[in-house]
Amino acid sequence: MAYSPNSERYGTMKYNACGKSGLKLPAISLGLWHNFGGVDAYENGRALVRRAFDLGITHFDLANNYGPPPGSAEENFGKMLRDDFSAYRDEMVISTKAGFYMWPGPYGDRGSKKYLVSSLDQSLKRMGLDYVDIFYHHRPDADTPLEETMGALDLIVRQGKALYVGISNYNAEQAKAASAILKSLGTPCLIHQPRYSMFVRQPEERLFGVLEEEGIGSIAYSPLAKGMLTDRYLNGIPADSRAGGQSVFLKPEELTDEVMGKVRKLNEIALQRGQKLSQMAVAWVLRGGRVTSALIGASKVSQIDDAVQALAQSDFSKEELDRIDSILQS
């Protein structure tokens, strides 16, 4: 059956201005890091993207190495675009990245102009697109002059292969230097993508201040701390969970008694708020407006529904924030 999106999809989603640009991003974005690769069920991934779009999620985040195997998430997303979304391309913000290993030899990794331009050409081919909306450098590269990497991002925009550019995993000093170079070239940095959650708060130390000074938006990845900030592990480790052997990113040894003690206390606050812990964790990341969008992953449609429902209860009292800080600092 041909896909017809929900006609009310823009009625409930919140859209936030991305830095000082005219681009607005949904408060919740969908990342295709997991569950969209060649080893995954295509129809499940397709159902996830459809549901996200039906709920007003317009931003879909990819990278050249997403899979597995690397590149296959872009290939599958390209098929979804052809199958379901060709008429809605202009309603979507599609991003991809380059910065990690992709092919053998000296030109398939890191931050050289050769690698970034070649990688984006491959990404566009895999997705069947003429351009992406946002192209990121995925991680800093100490072996390549920052001027070369930022110059490549500027070139890519001037070539019409991306509308905006961003950076990911840069620290505060690196982000400030990158922003200065891009401004001097006339292609300002749109967005930064850091890891940020209740359990990973380093961006609060200096990075968010730099982004505000520079007029750069932010999108937080792993807001659920690899799934730890959910009710999934409250009663042990399910066999079909990431910590149960389904992922290389969350190991059972990370779920220590100390961590789980904090998770249980945080879960109590969430329940008192009338939310699931995962919903409170997403709302917490978005609190105060420093984060433009929370980037979620999903393996089930219900997880997308949960994340979007977090926006219905997004405000925190000072008492709640103080209690959360007390738990996290204990």
Q: What DSSP string describes 152-207?
A: HHHHHHHTTSEEEEEEES--HHHHHHHHHHHHHHT--EEEEE-B-BTTB-GGGTTH
Q: Higher-confidence residue: 37 or 245?
A: 37
Site of tokens 């505060």 = 172
Residue 200: how many CB atoms within 10 A of its CB? Answer: 16
- Compute the CA torsion angle 303, 304, 308, 314 (nearest 10 deg): 40
pLDDT band at 244 (very low <50, low <70, confident <90, very high): very low
The greatest distance separating any two alpha carbons of the chain, rounded to the nearest whole angstrom, comes to 55
Length of the chain: 330
Interatomic CA distance for residues 20 and 29, integer angstroms: 19
Does 287 have pLDDT greater than 70?
yes
pLDDT score at 318? 98
pLDDT score at 249? 63
pLDDT score at 262? 96
**Beta partners for 138?**
none
As to burial, measured by CB atoms within 10 angstroms (0-12 exposed, 13-18 middle, 19+ buried), residue 244 is middle
At a CB cut-off of 8 Å and minimum separation 6, what does 175 contact? 167, 189, 192, 207, 210, 211, 214, 216
**Beta partners for 191?**
166, 217
pLDDT score at 109? 98
pLDDT score at 234? 87
pLDDT tens readout for residues 153-167: 999 999 999 999 999
pLDDT band at 97 (very low <50, low <70, confident <90, very high): very high
pLDDT tens readout for residues 57-67: 999 999 999 99
pLDDT band at 185 (very low <50, low <70, confident <90, very high): very high
| SS3 assignment, position 306 | helix
Q: What DSSP string describes 30-81?
A: EE-SSS-STTS-HHHHHHHHHHHHHTT--EEE--TT-TTTTTHHHHHHHHHI
pLDDT tens readout for residues 74-94: 999 999 999 999 999 999 999
Nearest to 248 by CA among 278, 281, 217, 226: 226
Q: Can you read off the two tokens belonging to residue 191?
A: 């967005």
**Beta partners for 195?**
221
pLDDT score at 283? 98
Average pLDDT, the chain: 95
- The whole-number average pLDDT for the span 261-278 is 97
- Helices 257-272, 277-286: crossing angle, 10 deg rounding: 80
pLDDT score at 240? 57
- The whole-number average pLDDT for the span 101-111 is 98
Q: Higher-confidence residue: 250 or 49?
A: 49
pLDDT tens readout for residues 292-303: 999 999 999 999
Report how far Cα 56 is from the mean position of its chain's Cα atoms. 16
**Beta partners for 200?**
197
Does 246 have pLDDT greater than 90?
no
- The whole-number average pLDDT for the span 251-280 is 93
Interatomic CA distance for residues 20 and 81, integer angstroms: 29
Q: Higher-confidence residue: 107 or 257?
A: 107
Look up the CATH superfamily of 18-225+287-299+307-314: NADP-dependent oxidoreductase domain (3.20.20.100)
Interatomic CA distance for residues 294 and 175, integer angstroms: 19
pLDDT band at 46 (very low <50, low <70, confident <90, very high): very high
pLDDT band at 237 (very low <50, low <70, confident <90, very high): low
- The 3-state DSSP composition of the chain as helix, strand, coil percent (nearest 5) reads 45, 15, 40
Give the number of C-alpha atoms closer than 13 A to the C-alpha of residue 321, restricted to the C-beta side.
Answer: 11
- The whole-number average pLDDT for the span 32-40 is 97
Does 268 have pLDDT greater than 50?
yes
pLDDT score at 235? 74
- The whole-number average pLDDT for the span 312-330 is 97
- Helices 113-127, 146-158: crossing angle, 10 deg rounding: 40
pLDDT band at 254 (very low <50, low <70, confident <90, very high): confident
Does 180 have pLDDT greater than 80?
yes
